[in-house]
Structure 1
Amino acid sequence: MKEIVLAGFGGQGVLTAGLIISQMASFKGYNATWSPQYGSAMRGGTAMCTVKFGKEYIYHPTADTPNILLAMNRGGYDAYSNTVKPGGTIVINSDEINVEEINLRTDVNNVVVPCKQIAKENDVARSENIVMVGVVIRETEDFTYEEALNGMNDMFRKKGKEAFEESNTIALKAGWDYKK
């Protein structure tokens, strides 16, 4: 069973990123849950969600000791980095978190990603969250790139958002291919 926590602030696409990952898992045939939590502010307030997926039944959607944390801002890192299982992975948005100012854990894989820079370099400037989905999903080692892409595109097609398919594909691939 994989447990992922995604944390940041409203407007960063944290909840959408979690929903995409859960839909990728479901599309592949896994049992999957997505549990969003957010503050009352539309933008700028706290936003986090948990995603769980695997072949096993899922009896509750929370993730007390996740395998992976996606920290989109310092608050998300501070709140959840100590909950990641030893040997797990923390994906850090270095556009919002100065890694020189935090105590990186030595018992996890720290993946530092300049997602805004990557998105701009690939002409998908508003898709930082999709870049990070690419990184996170690669780190799970549960999907091929094609499985991830097909799951994401299926979700957006069902929502009638095919217009974003090209930019989302570029962003997902950029994240998948990013090496720290």
Structure 2
Amino acid sequence: MAEADWEEQDEWELVNDDGFVYKRKKRRLEPTITAPPPPDPEAEEKNRRERKRQTLIKLRERYQKEIDQWENLSNTLKAMQEKTQNQQQTTTSSYSATASPFSPAQSSNSGCRRLVDDLLLRVEAQEASIQDVSHICDLADAICNTQEERMKQALVDLPIWASPGELMASLCDN
């Protein structure tokens, strides 16, 4: 009987997990399972370098795409500024020509019509500027949304979400 007690105790082990002490069955290594042969250090180094190279290529492509988007946005903004400055110069010069005080002879329909045309040109220039700014804001918003989705996807792609059952099992085993 003492020999049977010894075998039963041999199957259990005490585990101290941060002050929580409990018994569990000993894990037995199956004799049919052999440890894999040690990996070839040269092949492992080559694989590591290739993975690193591929990762750097992907990172470079992603950053280059983002840089291209920002350059496009910057060029659009510069073109819009130049266009606005040209329109302001045109309307300012035409307005200064008609801005002299009206004499009774100049208060004809042609003087008023010129003033209305100048004001209409200004309004159209402002409308074009507002549309350009709106377009730039839409581009910047799209870039930010793309980056936010990329960051979210990086969190979703973490291996712990792939198999939560395995995660729980590994946590319970320890």
Q: TM-score range by the shorter chain?
A: under 0.3
Higher RCO, 1 or 2 (CA under 8 Å, sep at least 6)? Answer: 1
Query: Larger strand proportion, structure 1 or 2?
Result: 1
Using the size of structure 1 for normalisation, the TM-score is 0.16
Query: Larger helix proportion, structure 1 or 2?
Result: 2
Using the size of structure 2 for normalisation, the TM-score is 0.17
